[in-house]
Structure 1
């Protein structure tokens, strides 16, 4: 009996002194912050000399800053479709912006969005900001894997409705009639700016779920507040947040509290655009501050990028320097973007020069959630490459298609095959709106081919196509093989713009 009592006592002491059972660490939260038309050179950490972005700079200093991060398309909607599915948008026909169409369709319902993957893995999912991937029925964000939605389903929206002294608008010359408002809408020059903004908001309302709500504050601030609220409401469970800002997309508008930081800039376009980027930077700061306040910094991966390069139609207000080209083009200025990943305690701060893609975001998030992407994913989980568990290049090549235009990045080679325009056509910074059903047809004069060695010529200034026909032939063969896995576009491009590139008239299909 005595031995039994001693043994029992010893066991009790052992249990009392043994360490408590360590519950498994929570799955990491994932936040994707997407800017709209942010130029490669428009933040401090990527080289801006006058746009002040202390929060974005700090995000980069604390994480991985990619110098060769690409998106899959140089315009909004197709780029977003690929980001959220991890598949080239040409795999399912979401090849062009849904300009001026009815709102009863969107990304094919056969496609799986990352929100759905994260939901099934036990995550609370939230989407804040710009959707642009379908509006009605099963195409709405709440039907594509997001438990919560606050934002606009359209391609653009007004930032300011209720103006105050010091608020500024800027109407760029040129293509504002096509680009300045919601897709297919009238430009700002057609009437008083405030009236235009009211009509824009009426055509593209802000909704919570599917219910229209009134938003009077600056739109970027409203989206930021909603993101912060979502983090606080879901701090005790793993969450996936897609914060898809509309800034600094047109219309260019900013309130006095951001404009005041740049009163010294005489160029009005640059002043207003810089103020808009500052609102994005403040948003990044607010999100990180909330994570810190809730003790979630080390439990959260943040990914920041832009959906494409900045737009040439806003003139010198923005810059993709040192890259060549703009939104709508397959030059690097259209498809290489600011790209940052931060996960304190898990990813060592560094500058990463390997080529990566927005296609990698969905597979990376899924892997962290312990889930798998559906078959056919074109992206990869980047974490093993960033922690050293995997070496080499995440991608051997990246591809682009827009109608009959193609591009490829293969190692240091970059090739763009673009349709020649007819001699009778006139180059314009504006995109000509074409009727539904007018397909992109290859000119009898064929493609104009541009080949660049990005290692020696990152600005894509010296076309080597004529002197390296062997490389052109090899890359054409790779494009043809890749294109066999694509499908026809769901609809035709309604913006076929003629530009002059290297002295050649060429046609873009944004």
Structure 2
């Protein structure tokens, strides 16, 4: 027996060493159970406080609420842009919008040399899939920067006959995945983008009764009238459909026995598509719900007040997968936040607002208590994107304006000129209407945050172009302007003059 044990022991050592060697080779996968799966659910145009677990008693989100109850609900999570494609491009690269190249502005491509984190997961043995809204692309390859490998094994638009939600195929993608690999899913719905297709495709057996206009919660910067309430009810319906599909996937993961080893993150790309929300630097546009579920990995559950930026998602997924985080990533892993409620990963969260239908340039920094922002286009109102301007909710505000009946919160939708700088104490001023700039009591806070923002802009290569891309829609009606009304000659995106897409410095954090 002694003679037999030596060869068996030696063979075990060889197998162990071979396994360790395989772990170090890119693209070679260990067993799926060795590393956590990651599922990212991204809503389209949903504000942070339009979920039940964030205090909205009118919006039905039972599945998200349940995941928040057993996981972590982040109460200080912020986007880098309240604009669809810039926000998504920022998340997938782990970089600030102006550091992604032209993608800092709506519908524009990410610089081709920048890696997307799902690509790195795929190279490390993960099965990767995107189902639903994509809205991301790269610039054309060059000799210096050839086309990067495809980041996803599977790509589909998430639509089916009679279902344009973007979430129609999430269940089938989950069911049909390879069972011998860990997986990463980028599940991105079109809910709740205008124009409210859930109303026409509603299935009461699946989603329950449609929301009633009389039950919705009307934010103070909107008009409380039948038209606006109906608009919000249709929006709530889309939020509920998004929630339902999350529940379907979670149940499938449980049935497969992999739910406990799957990190689920739920967020949105920007605020609701209503006035003073989407495209805003204020909480109504830039703050996002962020719910984390991972029974095997979260050491505690409850509410977290620690600052999180969405650029922190990329390094989190990569580190959990055992990947090397590339130097292009400017975010920081959220893993310490999973370990203890008292841990923190950043002192500041930065956001920016660039062209989205309308000319704009704004920047902000948050420290968890205060929001400080600067605006380099003070003569232009921040009324929201064109689809919001065309909405019944915006047009009702126009009617109140003509009658001289706007409240202070409602009037802010049309305010021009706007302040160049603003400082808000977010806890005591949740709508951010009380500008503290010039108040001696807060002079030190203003000076500190102004300095932090200036340092961030300098270190990350941000800039204010002499000519920004102009309006392409009418600011009053939301109608598209004629080509001869749009002068783009000499216009360019922020950071382009400083080659910000080549700069990896994260700035203060």
Q: Pick the aligned partner of 2:374 from 409, 414, 417.
A: 417
- State the Cα distance separating 1:310 from its structure 2 match: 0.9
User: CA separation of 1:8/1:491 partners in 2, compared to 1, >3 Å: closer, same or farther?
Assistant: same
Q: Which residue of 1 aligns with 2:457?
A: 483
Q: Which residue of 2 aligns with 1:236?
A: 180
For structure 1, list consecutive stretches of 5 or more residues without a partner in the other structure. 15-20, 99-104, 153-205, 207-214, 314-324, 434-444, 500-508
1:487-498 aligned within 5 A: 487=462, 492=469, 494=471
- State the Cα distance separating 1:400 from its structure 2 match: 2.2
User: CA separation of 1:299/1:392 partners in 2, compared to 1, >3 Å: closer, same or farther?
Assistant: closer
Asked if 2 retains the 8 angstrom alpha-carbon contact of 1:420 and 1:447, the reply is no
User: CA separation of 1:301/1:426 partners in 2, compared to 1, >3 Å: closer, same or farther?
Assistant: closer
User: CA separation of 1:341/1:231 partners in 2, compared to 1, >3 Å: closer, same or farther?
Assistant: farther
Q: Which residue of 2 aligns with 1:301?
A: 263
- State the Cα distance separating 1:285 from its structure 2 match: 0.6
* Inter-partner Cα distance in structure 2 for 1:136 and 1:397: 30
- Compare the two structures and name the one with the higher strand fraction: 1
Q: Is 2:104 the counterpart of 1:95?
A: yes
Q: Is 2:156 the counterpart of 1:150?
A: yes
* Inter-partner Cα distance in structure 1 for 2:65 and 2:140: 40
* Inter-partner Cα distance in structure 2 for 1:225 and 1:138: 31
- State the Cα distance separating 1:380 from its structure 2 match: 1.2
* Inter-partner Cα distance in structure 2 for 1:79 and 1:260: 31
1:105-116 aligned within 5 A: 106-116=109-119
Asked if 1 retains the 8 angstrom alpha-carbon contact of 2:281 and 2:353, the reply is no
1:325-404 aligned within 5 A: 325-347=276-298, 348-388=300-340, 392-403=343-354, 404=361
1:93-242 aligned within 5 A: 93=101, 94-98=103-107, 106-134=109-137, 144-151=150-157, 215-220=160-165, 223-242=167-186
Report runs of 4+ in structure 1 exceeding 3 Å deviation: 7-12, 21-25, 135-139, 141-144, 263-267, 419-422, 425-433, 455-459, 487-491, 493-499
- State the Cα distance separating 1:43 from its structure 2 match: 1.3
Q: How many residues align?
A: 399
Alignment TM-score, normalising by the size of structure 1: 0.69
When the two chains are superposed, the root-mean-square deviation of aligned CA atoms in Å is 3.7
Q: Which residue of 1 aligns with 2:226?
A: none
Q: Counterpart of 2:157 in 1: which secondary structure?
A: strand
Q: Which residue of 1 aligns with 2:437?
A: 465
User: CA separation of 1:32/1:291 partners in 2, compared to 1, >3 Å: closer, same or farther?
Assistant: same
Alignment TM-score, normalising by the size of structure 2: 0.70
Q: Is 2:204 the counterpart of 1:253?
A: no
For structure 2, list consecutive stretches of 5 or more residues without a partner in the other structure. 10-15, 20-29, 215-228, 355-360, 389-416, 477-492, 495-509
* Inter-partner Cα distance in structure 2 for 1:350 and 1:432: 36
User: CA separation of 1:147/1:263 partners in 2, compared to 1, >3 Å: closer, same or farther?
Assistant: closer
User: CA separation of 1:370/1:268 partners in 2, compared to 1, >3 Å: closer, same or farther?
Assistant: same
Q: Counterpart of 2:438 in 1: which secondary structure?
A: coil
Q: Which has the higher contact order (CA 8 A, sep 6+)?
A: 1
Q: Counterpart of 2:169 in 1: which secondary structure?
A: helix
